[in-house]
Structures are given as C-alpha cells and as structure tokens.
Amino acid sequence: MSLIEVTNLCKEFKVYKRQKGFLKNVKSLFHRQFDTKMAVDDISFSINAGELVGYVGANGAGKSTTIKMLCGIITPTSGKVIVNGIEPSKDRKRNAMNIGVVFGQRSQLDWNLPMEDSFDLYRRMYRIDNATYKRNVDMFVELLGMQTFLRQPVRTLSLGQKMRADLSVALLHDPKILYLDEPTIGLDVDVKDKIRKFVRALRDEKNTTIILTTHDMADIDEICERLIMIDKGKVLVDSPLADYKHTFDNEYYIEVEFAKGTTPNALDGLDSRFTIINRVHNRVTCKFMRNQIPVREAMSLFSTNYDIVDVNIRNAKLDEIVKDFYAVNNK
C-alpha cells in the first residue's frame, strides 16, 4: 500500500464579490455575493515510501493548497486524502507525528531563543527519546554546517541559517514524510547546495518520503526522481523525472559569442530552423530541434556565416522544458 493516497481531491474557496458603488456595498452587507474558486480540481496520485517527488506549477496552480490538505491544515471540499493510514483533517495530532513541514517564508522557531533551545522545546513537544534526539541533532548540525550559530538567538540569524534550523526542527522526531514548500526561496547558492545535498542524504539515510514544491527547477533537477505538474488545480504530468526530460531531449540550445563589433542586428540569413531566445551584447542564444538540424550542421552554419569567438551547444535545462510545456498547454 502507498504511503500517501490522494483520490479525486477537490478544494474550492468562496471569494467575496465586491460591488462598485455605495448603495451596492450597503446592500451587500445583507445579501453577499460570492465567486467560487476551484483551487484543486479532481486530482489523484499515490506516493510510496522513500520517493522524492517534485510538485510544481505556476503561482495559484494549487500546490500549497494540496500540501495544506496533506498536512490536515485545511479540509478537502470532496475526495479523499490518506497519509500513512490517517485522514489528516480528521486526526491532525496523529498525522503531525508522521510528518515534517517547512514553509519557506514561515519559521517554526522562537524568535528570541537560541537554536539549541528551540530544538530542546521540540524534543519535549514530540517526546523524542534522548538517543534519537542526540543522533539527529549531531547529524543535522554536521550535514548543514550549523556549528557556528547553535547558541545564537534566532532573530540574529541570516535567512539561510534560519532555513537550515527550520529544516532541522521539522525532522527531529524522525517523520516518515517531509513536505518542503519553497525551501530555498531567497537563499544564496552555497546554502541552496547544502540544503539539496542534505535532502538527498536524508532520504538515503532514513528513507524519508519527500514532497518538494518550488519555482526553482534546479531544486527539482538535483533532488527529485519524480515530477508531478499541476496547472489550474489539475494534474498535467505525473512521471519519473528522467522519462519526462527524455521526451524533450530533442531540444537543443546553441550559445554563440560573436566577435566584438560584428554581431549582426537581425542575424540575416539565419536558418529558419533556429529560434532566437536571448541576445545580450555580442552573445546570442538560439533554440533548435536536433531532428530538424544535426548538431554538427548547427555549429557549421554559425562558424561559416559569421565571425564568432566561441560557441556552445547544450541540452534544454529543466526550467526551459517546463516553461515550454506550460506555454503549449496554455495556448
């Protein structure tokens, strides 16, 4: 049996319809009108223990609403959610013992306490035995590089330090499932790298099931093995990440640096099979399909027809693939 089962899940919200004009606003005090917004629209999926799942979509697609229903924070309008044999909205306390949650912009830490004291507070709340507590704290401090700020009050920590502390607090009680909602938002490259490596190590060490929502496709690419894409509350894709990327491996990008002073304004004569994506000074990036023009021919066309300094050809990045996918599906 799957660890998480989501079946025909729906969540709708009523949004007050504000009227224009004084008299209409007075009338609305007695007879309010509402619009119905379908945030999650009949989605179904199952997730097994130990899976690393990227749950992605545009702003307002329904990602955070889904996570909140999995946590038991909000109740579904219809459909069913089962997490480790529990309906989260009906038994939030038991469900909380099985899950850890990190929301990128909402800290669980006490602002005035040092990080170590917050850890001890959560140890008491979750009744964590001393051996488990010590083992987890030692592991998290080492993997996330937190030795230097354990005794600092949380209010003095940087954003990256707070995020590492929040991640540790969410995992002290050895939850089977970890929900990460935009965990790397606003962080610098070094901290992002630490968190990504930590999440992979956590799964390998403890077989923790991880669901990650993010707009940073590098997070998905480096952490996840499965991709679920939603848009307007509906699931568009549910696939192993490698399979999803393979369906787009025909798409290539060529980055060309022209000799200074020789960059053609309109790239006159450029083969119509190339699409110009970006142009910055004397650097131009174009997209092409490998089944329409071989890589060797693509390089030859630029080197023969233009005065170039450097040329680089690469596969499409995951964020480019996802962007193109949404563009096609929203036409």
pLDDT band at 19 (very low <50, low <70, confident <90, very high): low
Q: In this predicted structure, what is the pLDDT of residue 43?
A: 94
Secondary structure element (H or E) that encloses residue 120, with its range: helix 115-125
In total, the chain counts a number of residues equal to 331
Q: Are 218 and 271 contained in the same domain?
A: no
Contact 192, 138 (CB under 8 A): no
pLDDT at position 52 = 94
Domain assignment of residue 325, yes or no: no
- Verify that 242 and 256 share a domain, yes or no: no
What distance, in Å, lies between the first and last C-alpha atoms of the chain? 38
Question: Measured between alpha carbons, how far is 318 from 219 in angstroms, rounded to an integer?
Answer: 10
What does the block give as tokens for 36? 């119905």
Give the closest residue to 59 by CA, choosing from 181, 169, 179: 181
Same domain, 81 and 211: yes
Mean per-residue pLDDT, 53-78: 91
Give the domain range for residue 282: 251-315
CB neighbours of residue 34 within 10 Å: 10
State whether 298 and 186 are in the same domain.
no
**Looking at the structure, do residues 83 and 172 belong to the same domain, yes or no?**
yes
- 330 occurs within a structural domain: no
The total domain count for the chain is 2
Domain boundary among 194, 216, 246: 246
The conformation of residue 300, written as its DSSP 8-state character, comes to H
Same domain, yes or no, for 257 and 288?
A: yes
Question: Each residue of 260-278: pLDDT tens digit?
Answer: 766 665 565 566 788 888 8
Domain-embedded: residue 225: yes
Give a yes or no: residue 43 inside a domain: yes
Of the ranges 121-130, 131-140, 244-253, which one carries the lowest mean pLDDT score? 244-253
35 within some domain: yes
Q: 192 falls in which pLDDT band (50, 70, 90)?
A: confident
Read off the pLDDT of each residue in 26-37 and give the average, rounded to a whole number: 69
Question: Residue 232: its pLDDT value, please?
Answer: 87
Alpha carbon distance 326, 183 (integer Å)? 23
Please tell me whether residues 64 and 49 are part of one structural domain.
Answer: yes
pLDDT at position 1, please?
A: 62
User: What distances in angstroms separate CA 185 from CA 128, 191, 221, 306, one per listed residue?
Assistant: 30, 11, 16, 41
- Is residue 323 included in any domain, yes or no? no
Within a domain: residue 66?
yes
State whether 222 and 269 are in the same domain. Answer: no
Residues 229 and 276 both lie in one domain: no
Asked if pLDDT for residue 17 goes beyond 80, the answer is no
Instruction: Let me know whether 239 and 284 are in one domain.
Output: no
Q: How confident is the model at residue 98, as a pLDDT?
A: 93
Q: Which residues contact 206 (CB under 8 A, 6 or more apart)?
A: 174
CA angle 219, 221, 224 (to 5 degrees): 80
**Given this model, what pLDDT does residue 40 score?**
92
What residues does 237 pair with on adjacent strands?
229
pLDDT at 177: 95
Q: Are residues 211 and 296 in the same domain?
A: no
Sign of CA dihedral 164, 155, 110, 180: negative
pLDDT above 70 for 315:
yes
Residue 320 within any structural domain of the chain: no
Q: Compare 22 and 310 and report the one with higher pLDDT.
A: 310
Indicate whether 298 and 213 sit together in one domain: no
Q: Is the pLDDT of residue 26 over 80?
A: no
Residue-averaged pLDDT of the chain: 85
Q: What are phi and psi of 38, to 5 degrees?
A: -90, 100
Predicted confidence at residue 123, as pLDDT, reads 92
Percent of the chain, pLDDT > 70?
89
Which residues does residue 273 pair with via DSSP β-bridges, in sequence order? none
In 3-state terms, what secondary structure has residue 207?
A: coil
Reported as a single tens digit per residue, the pLDDT across 86-105 is: 999 999 999 999 999 988 76
Domain harbouring 59, CATH code: 3.40.50.300
pLDDT value for 212: 93
